[in-house]
Amino acid sequence: MRILVADDDATSRLVLEAVVTKLGHECLVASDGSHAWDVLTEHEIDVLLTDWMMPGLDGPELCRRVREELRHYTYVVLITGLANPQQVLEGMRAGADDYLIKPVDPFSVQTSMVAAERVIILHRQLADFRTQLEQTNLELLELSRVDALTGLGNRRRMEEDLARAHARALRTGRSYCLALFDIDYFKLYNDHYGHPAGDETLRGVARCLERSARANESVYRYGGEEFLLLMPDCALADAAVAAEGVRQAVLDMAAPHDARPTDPAFVTLSGGVHCWTPSSELSMPEALAQSDRALFVAKSSGRNRIHTVDHEHLPLPEMAPDSTDGTLTSIR
């Protein structure tokens, strides 16, 4: 153990240093309370043997500082020539773990060090356990924000990140875009191929989204077969191109979908994109609702397409003729 002896009496310091060193411990010394505090803040001390009466900081005040300001645990033994029980209690209430009466004999120091070592080991074990518990809690917290099937952020993480993105946009006066995607005819896919195949398709679409997202963008499983792409600091035209890239990436998977009633006979995505700008009066949930409205238009207009919205509370237009060419559309 690393032990600090704090005593303004040179003879007492030498005696205690000799005893502690003979017991096999590392020993540091301080000639007054202020010097002792400097050593305590510069080094990680296991045990403090401190005199009661010293210049600068006295023993009880040193005890109080150790308990209130040091992060690691230091076992404190208060050494006093005062045998008054009330003064001993005062020192214990100040933070001392044990006390010795002057003149100190080596055997008393040895027994005190045995007790100190046990307490220090216990505190280290508790500190290790607390660290492990905190790490486990962080891991559990992370898991609680991840969709188990796809590995994407789940609805909880999405809502937290959207709130932060909206607050940041309000603060900085920058825009952000939301792209909401839905797998076309996914119920028919599940009915035809079975849920295990459906789960694999969800994972495949999630990988397409992750590969398409840029460094500052985030992807979430919105729910069921729906996914959300959050694009901070992004204009509507760029967001539309990014969403089209996601749509094309899913189509390029060429995952067969023989149960869909329209061409192509592959798994496809429809998407709705909305861009929130500093001039917008929409809240974050309202901006998300606009993406959902755009997605509805894309689905109603023939699927396998992206529809963009850049007006607040845009009314639903008349449905465009069905098309299966997969080209980007923008109905405003």
* Separation of alpha carbons 232 and 214, rounded Å: 10
**CA-based nearest residue to 175, from 271, 272, 296, 310:** 310
Closest CA to 232 of 211, 222, 212, 217: 217
Helix intervals (H) in the chain: 10-22, 33-42, 59-69, 85-94, 106-143, 155-172, 186-193, 195-212, 236-252, 284-300
Structure tokens at 269: 């995505």
Among 69, 225, 312, 318, the one annotated catalytic: 225
Which residues touch 20 (CB under 8 Å, ≥6 apart)? 3, 5, 27, 49, 109, 113
Three-class SS of residue 56? Answer: coil
Maximum pairwise Cα distance, the chain: 101
Decide if 314 contacts 332 (C-beta within 8 A): yes
Catalytic annotation present for 42: no
Residues across the chain? 332
Structure tokens at 241: 């191109």
* DSSP annotation of 302: T
Closest by Cα among 290, 73, 270, 12 to 176 = 290
Which residues lie closer than 8 Å to 288 by C-beta, 6 or more apart?
162, 178, 180, 228, 274
Collect all residues with Cβ–Cβ distance below 8 Å to 170 and sequence separation of at least 6: 278
Annotated catalytic sites, by residue?
225
